[in-house]
Amino acid sequence: MVKYLSIPFASVIAVLLLFFFPLQSTYEQQDQMAYNLSYNAVTNFVDSVRNKGYISPMMYSDFTRELGATNNLFDIQMEHKAKRYNPIYKDPTDEATFTGAAEVYYDAVYQQTILYTLFPDNGVSDFDPSRKYYLKEGDFFTVTVRNTNTTKAKLLSDFLTNGNSVDPTRIDIPYGGIVNNENY
């Protein structure tokens, strides 16, 4: 009786060892390659924006095309924190009471506004300066990229562990920094 039960059990173990685990390893490597490509695309885009001081439609299109090469779907979130100064007065109604100091604060501009500047509905050429989104030196610019699709590695992992992942995110890249230059 034990002999008859050991053959199916050994067959199941052999299938797992010879098929599923190498397949899982291959899919994990694909996810790692997709992460590396995405990370390079994000860092190149953000560093380019920080060094130039603007975003053009061509820069954003190239960025999304590089992300698309990973065969994943992404949620891209851009944020621009514009540096502003608020002068400090002893009496706000009298300009003569200026203390010589100022508060620094940041106004946040998000994805929707940036994309509307890059891709307006007015049919203007891609090379028109009005389609560039400008930043100033000292501003902060950040991009966060997350995959929204379930990768093959995640599907196989859920199958093998009998899990049900609610969050398919395998690639999550936040990157940003201070704008270094205004190279208009």
For residue 2, what pLDDT is reported? 63
Number of domains in the chain: 1
In a domain, 81, yes or no: yes
HSE on the CB side for 104, CA within 13 Å?
6
Amino acid identity for residue 86 in this structure? N
HSE on the CB side for 158, CA within 13 Å?
12
For residue 157, what pLDDT is reported? 80
In a domain, 184, yes or no: no
Contact 164, 158 (CB under 8 A): yes
pLDDT tens profile 18-58: 787 888 889 899 999 999 999 999 999 999 999 999 999 99
Residue span of the structural domain in which 42 resides = 2-178
Q: How many whole angstroms separate alpha carbon 181 and alpha carbon 184?
A: 9
- For residues 65-85, average pLDDT: 94
Model confidence band, residue 109 (pLDDT cutoffs 50, 70, 90): very high
Q: How many whole angstroms separate alpha carbon 19 and alpha carbon 94?
A: 79
Q: Which pTM does this prediction carry?
A: 0.84
In a domain, 183, yes or no: no
For residue 46, what pLDDT is reported? 97
